[in-house]
């Protein structure tokens, strides 16, 4: 069963003038996939990501998470699904300025409420250490560099161990070195942990490293291709994904 599926999804904004953000999009994304969503500015990439991430609802068609149609969920179930299944990384980190790195990473765990305070703290510290921020646990966002903040945001996205990470221009506001680190972390989440990563990006180096590329124009998918060139580093992926599917 696919992790995420869209069936004929359309999103129209009504108002004085109707705007079609996404038009009749169908796709299916499975475990362990590394997917780039590309397209010109205004082609609906972010809108599609928000629909797949249950941050927005389609006007027509349906989005299914692990086979469950999201329109059949009430807001509480959608929120719980977002928290447990989908981790989000945006172009801007959206960290809470008054919380430390550790505190920010603990927020989604608090909301999900599965761990006690000590376990939350230990997991947040471990995630930050794994992303090279072991020496910065108690720093406030303003005390960190742009790249470090984005890595805190990635640790926050991983807080509840979601199988899927949705990233909207995750390298869009970073310098070259930090961009490379973020790309590398996302690639490792797929290759080493069997997670699914779907990333909207204008960054061609990044898109070319991904196995699957979905290209949008005017809210429609105009191509959805697998790149053999990017298959190398992910050669073992299907196996990881299958093993995960078999054990979960």
Q: State which residue, 42 or 146, has the beta carbon closest to ligand ATP.
A: 42
Stretch in the footprint of ligand ATP (CB under 6 A) among 25-33, 40-48, 67-75, 176-184: 40-48
Does residue number 45 form part of the binding site for ligand ATP (CB under 6 A)? yes
Q: State which residue, 43 or 196, has the beta carbon closest to ligand ATP.
A: 43
Does residue number 53 form part of the binding site for ligand ATP (CB under 6 A)? no
Q: Which of 14, 41, 176, 247 binds ligand ATP (CB under 6 A)?
A: 41
Cβ atoms within 10 Å of 193's Cβ, excluding its own: 15
Does residue number 222 form part of the binding site for ligand ATP (CB under 6 A)? no
Cβ atoms within 10 Å of 99's Cβ, excluding its own: 15
Stretch in the footprint of ligand ATP (CB under 6 A) among 45-53, 98-106, 159-167, 224-232: 45-53
Q: State which residue, 124 or 214, has the beta carbon closest to ligand ATP.
A: 214
Does residue number 43 form part of the binding site for ligand ATP (CB under 6 A)? yes
Nearest to 184 by CA among 205, 202, 164, 166: 205
d(CA 48, CA 2): 17
Residue with tokens 């928000």: 50
Q: HSE on the CB side for 83, CA within 13 Å?
A: 16
d(CA 164, CA 155): 13
Q: Which of 1, 8, 42, 110 binds ligand ATP (CB under 6 A)?
A: 42
Q: State which residue, 91 or 178, has the beta carbon closest to ligand ATP.
A: 91
Q: Which of 21, 127, 153, 159 binds ligand ATP (CB under 6 A)?
A: 21
From residue 97, give the alpha-carbon distance in Å to each of 67, 111, 143, 240.
37, 18, 10, 37
Nearest to 219 by CA among 4, 12, 1, 6: 12
Please report, as ranges, the residues that interact with ligand ATP according to CB under 6 A: 13, 19, 21, 39, 41-47
């Amino acid at each position: 069963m696919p992790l995420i599926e869209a069936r004929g999804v359309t999103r129209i904004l009504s108002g004085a003038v109707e705007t079609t953000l996404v038009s009749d999009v169908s796709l299916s994304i499975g475990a362990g996939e590394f997917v780039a969503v590309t397209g010109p500015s205004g082609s609906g990439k972010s809108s599609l990501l928000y629909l797949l991430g249950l941050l927005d609802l389609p006007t027509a068609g349906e989005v299914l998470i692990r086979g469950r149609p999201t329109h059949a969920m009430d807001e509480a179930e959608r929120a719980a699904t977002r928290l447990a299944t989908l981790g989000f990384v945006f172009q801007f980190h959206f960290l809470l300025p008054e919380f430390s790195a550790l505190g920010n990473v603990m927020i989604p765990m608090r909301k999900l409420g599965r761990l006690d305070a000590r376990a939350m703290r230990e997991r947040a510290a471990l995630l930050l250490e794994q992303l090279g921020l072991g020496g910065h646990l108690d720093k406030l966002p303003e005390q960190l560099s742009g790249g470090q903040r984005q890595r805190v945001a990635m640790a926050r996205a991983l807080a509840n161990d979601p199988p899927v990470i949705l990233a909207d221009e995750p390298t869009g506001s970073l310098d070259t070195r930090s961009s490379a680190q973020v790309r590398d972390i996302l690639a490792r989440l797929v290759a080493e942990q069997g997670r699914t990563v779907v990333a909207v990006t204008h960054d061609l180096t990044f898109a070319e490293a991904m196995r699957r590329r979905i290209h949008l124009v005017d809210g429609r998918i105009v191509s959805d291709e697998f790149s053999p060139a990017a298959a190398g580093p992910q050669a073992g992926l299907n196996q990881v994904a299958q093993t995960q599917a078999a054990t979960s």
